[in-house]
Structure formats: structure tokens, C-alpha cells
Amino acid sequence: MEVITKTKDLAAACQRLATNDYVTVDTEFLRETTFWPKLCVIQMAGTEMAFIVDALAEGLDLEPFFDLMRDDSVTKVFHAARQDIEIIYHLGGLIPAPLFDTQVAAMVCGFGDSISYDQLVYKVTGARIDKSSRFTDWARRPLTAKQLDYALADVTHLRDAFQFLKANLAEQNRTHWVQDEMTVLTSVATYRADPDQAWKRLKLRVRKPVELAVMMEVAAWRETEAQNRDVPRSRVIKDDAIYELAAQQPVTTEALGRLRTIPRGFERSRNADEILKAVRRALEIPKSELPKLPKGRQAPDGSAAAVDLLKVLLKLVSEAHGVAAKVIATVDDLEKIAADDNADVAAMKGWRRELFGETALKLKRGEVALAFQNRQITVLEQTPQQATQAAE
């Protein structure tokens, strides 16, 4: 099996793949000791060809691969695409388009929530994929024959899964459902690690605006530091340290050194000085300009029971139409629908509204009812009189 290590060979392979209507793509990477994923291997396949690219080969320029990813005449097929696209966006500054994610398509076609690649391949083709090489060291060279076989299987079997799902979607008139789902995956905002938004990754363990301000400043500093050093966030400081910094708000080296979550001697480091500057910046914010604490959504009386009913309805609709429940609506969607008939959520728009949203509103108004018949729960249409009685 030939592994591409030279730019000219990569360019030739990508030119051949560009003659296809679609190309299946996967990557192997490491991330345990870095902030950004370390790309090690790229796998690509067309209808009658497949290639493995050693992304770590000395002198290899990946630009031909990026050119293929931005070629809008070729559909790029991934399974669980988010991490692969994150790598491509970080290294190449682009998001592959048009895009088809077989995991998303499988959820729309009734294969359950977040089906794994090997399970999907088995259900579609009957082939069993050896996943024992999944967590091997993809940065070590030379790659073993077993690793190469595993890598190739990740794109060759994907062709069959793609063709099956594409036909299934067309048969059920659901192709546009998957296209709607690609919006998040193809949004640049999905892959930007904005330091100013880093605090949103943390649990909100603050009670005062000033504590939130400290959390935001320190989290932003940590995010920038982790990106610049290309190390995991926890290698800079751990989450628990940010929570304690927000609560204690140290402004001197001595106060910083007394914190339980700060390692001994850390207060004398350059990072300690940067943390103290971040805390001081937060404390210098005028009271009137401090960030407001996010308010928890106050659920109206009785809405918890409504959410429970909507969950049952969602399960019924999901099973009846062979669509994964979480593709139709999230728990957050259900809570908002329970509280507001005009909730601005995905479940109340487009095909989701037709499939679930309208019936959800009818259930709230008593125009339909849930009943247990023949050992299963069903949805029953209500007469206007019954609906009025239910409302009363």
C-alpha cells in the first residue's frame, strides 16, 4: 500500500479525486498534549480509488488537499465531521463544502443517536471493521500495515454508507433535512476558539458580577496562553483554579500563593504575574459596567409536567418516523416550547415543525391527547368539546 509523502504525488491524487462527484475523507490525529489537534494521517477515497497521506512527511505541502476541500463541485463525505473539519479549518483556513456527514444522515434515517462508524458500516454492508488501531500512536513512523489497513477502511467502507444513506434520504424526501443540519457544521463560528468566549466552557460557579468579571478575564488569558503555547488548557491552569480566583480575587503574589488550587511556587512565575493582571483588570471595571450574571430561565408553573408530556410525544414521533429524537428537538427546545407557543427554537421551524412542532402545540392546547392503547402509547385527536374541557 503506497503512502503519499511528496507534494507532487498528493497533487496528482487530488486531481484524480476531483474528477469524482464525491470524496470520502477521514483523519488520524493526536491531541493529548496539544491545544490544536496534531494532524498525522489523511485518508481519501473516490469511487474507484483510495489514498493515504502521511501528513507528517518532511516537506509535504497540504495545499493540494485544501484545494480539493474547497472545490465546490465535489461533495466531501465525513463521519462525525466536527473534529476533522476543525483540523482543516485550523491548518487550511477553510471549511469543506459541500459537506455530507454520514452520522447526521444516519440519525435522520433511523439509525439512532450518534451511531459509530463501525456500527453504521456493519448495519449497511455487514462488514466488520477492526477498531483496535484507533488509539495507536499515529505520530510514530513507520506506520504499521495494521494501521494502514485501519485507516483505509475508514474511507473505503464510507463510500457504501454514503451511497446507501443518500438513496435512503432521497427515497424518503429527507435530503433537505440533512442539508439543514449541515448549517452548524459549516459555520466558522463552530471552530473559532475565541478567548473572550472561553468562560462559557466553565461551570457558572459565581454569585456576583465582579466574580464573573474575574472568571471572564482569567479564562480569556488562559485560552490565549494555551493557543499560543499549543498546550491543553489544563496545562496552563485548571478549571478549579479559575473558580477559586474568581471567588478570592487575589491582587498580590502572597495572596495568590495562599490559594489551595495554585501549585506551590507558581506565584513566582510569569504566568502568576499575568493572572494577577487579569484579576486587577476585572476589579478595575466600574460597577455599572460589570457583566450581568446570566439569569436562569424561570419555568412557569406546571411547565415541568408539560415538558414530560412533550418528551413522550417526541419519543412517539421519533419512533414513528425513524428519526433520532435529538435531531428533532433537544430538552432545551421542549422546555422553551412548554413555556411559549412562539418559542424561537429549531423544533418549531421547517420540517421539524411539520413533524413534531405542530403536534406539540396541539398537545399543549388539548387538541390531541396521549393514550395507552394495545400496550402502547398513541396520539389521539380530540374533539373541540374535549379540547375545551381539557383546557378547563
Model confidence band, residue 371 (pLDDT cutoffs 50, 70, 90): confident
Q: Which of 163, 190, 217 is the last residue of a domain?
A: 190
105 & 226 share domain: no
| 209 within domain boundaries | yes
46 & 73 share domain: yes
Which is it for the CA torsion 105, 107, 108, 110, positive or negative?
A: positive
Average pLDDT over residues 338-358: 95
Q: What is the pLDDT of residues 209-241, one digit of tens each?
A: 999 999 999 999 999 999 999 999 999 999 999
313 & 375 share domain: yes
**Any idea what the Cα angle at residue 112 is, between residues 108 and 115, rounded to 5°?**
100
Alpha-carbon distances, residue 156 vs 26, 61, 167 (angstroms) = 10, 24, 18
Q: Which of 251, 284, 317 is the last residue of a domain?
A: 284
Q: What is the pLDDT of residues 126-171, one digit of tens each?
A: 999 988 888 899 999 999 999 999 999 999 999 999 999 999 999 9
**What CATH number corresponds to the domain at position 252?**
1.10.150.80
| 298 within domain boundaries | no
Share of the chain above pLDDT 70, in %: 95
183 & 53 share domain: yes
User: What is the distance between the alpha carbons of residues 77 and 43, in angstroms, rounded to a whole number?
Assistant: 12
Residue 283's contacts (CB-CB under 8 Å, 6 or more residues apart) are: 210, 213, 214, 249, 251
Q: How many domains are contained in the chain?
A: 3
Lookup result for grid cell 497533487 = 11
Q: What is the pLDDT of residues 268-282, one digit of tens each?
A: 999 999 999 999 999
Q: Which of 24, 16, 154 is closest to 77 using CA atoms?
A: 24
Q: What is the pLDDT of residues 315-324, one digit of tens each?
A: 999 999 999 9
| 377 within domain boundaries | yes
| 364 within domain boundaries | yes
35 & 119 share domain: yes
184 & 207 share domain: no
Average pLDDT over residues 52-57: 98
37 & 163 share domain: yes
| 293 within domain boundaries | no
**What CATH number corresponds to the domain at position 14?**
3.30.420.10
**Any idea what the Cα angle at residue 380 is, between residues 378 and 382, rounded to 5°?**
160
180 & 315 share domain: no
360 & 242 share domain: no
178 & 207 share domain: no
CB 217: neighbour CB atoms within 10 A? Answer: 24
Q: Which of 190, 208, 243 is the last residue of a domain?
A: 190
Average pLDDT over residues 350-369: 93
**Host domain of residue 277:** 195-284
| 291 within domain boundaries | no
| 297 within domain boundaries | no
Give the pTM: 0.88
| 371 within domain boundaries | yes
307 with 343: CB under 8 angstroms?
A: no
54 & 151 share domain: yes
Which is it for the CA torsion 337, 339, 340, 345, positive or negative?
A: negative
309 & 269 share domain: no
**8-state DSSP, 73:** T
H or E segment and range at residue 278? helix 270-283
